């Protein structure tokens, strides 16, 4: 049987993400590892962004939000991928919407960043794209990632960890003219998506669920869980 590994840039497990990404699968049966699984407080502090580096955002097991310098993170993330494979993963998902071209593996690697950008580029090649990012320090990165000829970006910063991930009045006003909105962090969940969708009149894309739907097509176990859930609901 194939098995999918889920590798977070923070600490595993991440049931909050997996329940949203693959809601019909048993979280207990998923292979999870994290780049920060084996770390002490001094090592964690040393990973903080310095010198204007773009902060990457994740969560620790105790619920704390953590800001990480991507380049300092890379060796730990690569080791976490290796641990997932050693534990039996036959494909690995990097549970972050950032770009990680440096990461390699002997099994298929699935990068949510690639899937998200490809889908959004098809859905909204031109127009006004709203981006909800987890930290204001990512603004330059988001414009570089999402701007295209004929496509304007409006970005707002709301953390799914330090806050409840739901919009405030100012964020909704900023996104009012957008044609499509993307929650560009794997930490946003379905409840948060609904909170953004309600006051907006345009589609809101939840990154982790979009990736989860694709995983269900690739992994027979995840697909079977979804199909069985549909049968169970039909029988109720």
pTM to 2 decimals? Answer: 0.91
- The hierarchical CATH code for the domain 114-207 is 3.40.50
Greater pLDDT, 71 or 163: 71
Mean of all residue pLDDT scores within the chain: 92
Burial 9-21 (b: 16+ CB within 10 A, else e): bbbbbbebbbebb
Residue 207 half-sphere exposure, CB side, CA atoms within 13 Å?
27
pLDDT of residue 158: 97
pLDDT of residue 230: 52
The 10s digit of each residue's pLDDT in 167-194 is 999 999 999 999 999 999 999 999 999 9
Burial 96-132 (b: 16+ CB within 10 A, else e): bbbbbeebebebebbbbbebbbebbeeebeeebbbbb
Is the pLDDT at 28 greater than 70? The verdict is no
pLDDT-based confidence at residue 231 (cuts at 50, 70, 90) = very low
Greater pLDDT, 226 or 11: 11
State the architecture of 4-111+210-235 in CATH terms. Answer: 3-Layer(aba) Sandwich (3.40)
Task: Please identify which residue in the block is written with the tokens 């780049």.
Answer: 35
Beta strands in 23-112 (DSSP E): 31-34, 55-59, 65-69, 91-95, 109-110
Q: Where in the chain is the domain with CATH 3.40.50?
A: 4-111+210-235, 114-207
Helices marked H in 87-189: 112-123, 139-146, 169-174
- Do residues 66 and 17 make contact, with C-beta atoms less than 8 angstroms apart? no
Q: What is the DSSP letter of 29?
A: G
DSSP state letters, 154-183? EEEE--TTTS-S---HHHHHHTTT-SEEEE
Query: Residues 90-113: what's their mean pLDDT?
Result: 96
| Strand-pair partners of 182 | 131, 205
């Amino acid at each position: 049987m194939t098995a999918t590994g889920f590798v977070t840039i923070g600490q595993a497990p991440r049931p909050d993400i997996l329940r949203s990404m693959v809601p019909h699968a048993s979280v207990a049966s998923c292979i999870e590892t994290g780049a920060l699984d084996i770390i002490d407080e001094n090592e964690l502090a040393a990973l903080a962004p310095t010198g204007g580096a773009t902060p990457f955002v994740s969560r620790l097991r105790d619920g704390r939000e953590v800001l990480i310098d991507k380049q300092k993170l890379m060796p730990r993330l690569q080791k976490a991928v290796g641990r997932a494979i050693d534990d039996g993963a036959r494909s690995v998902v990097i549970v972050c919407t950032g770009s990680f071209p440096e990461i390699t593996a002997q099994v298929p690697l699935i990068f949510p960043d690639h899937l998200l950008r490809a889908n959004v580029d098809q859905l909204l090649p031109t127009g006004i794209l709203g981006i909800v990012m987890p930290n204001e320090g990512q603004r330059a990165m988001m414009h570089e990632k999402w701007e295209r000829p004929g496509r304007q970006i409006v970005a707002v910063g709301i953390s799914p960890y330090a806050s409840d991930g739901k919009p405030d009045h100012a964020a909704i006003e900023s996104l009012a003219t957008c044609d499509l909105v993307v929650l560009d962090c794997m930490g946003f969940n379905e409840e948060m998506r609904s909170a953004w969708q309600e006051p907006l009149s345009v589609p809101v894309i939840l990154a982790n669920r979009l990736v989860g739907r694709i995983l269900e097509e690739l992994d027979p176990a995840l697909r079977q869980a979804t199909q069985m859930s549909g049968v169970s609901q039909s029988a109720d």
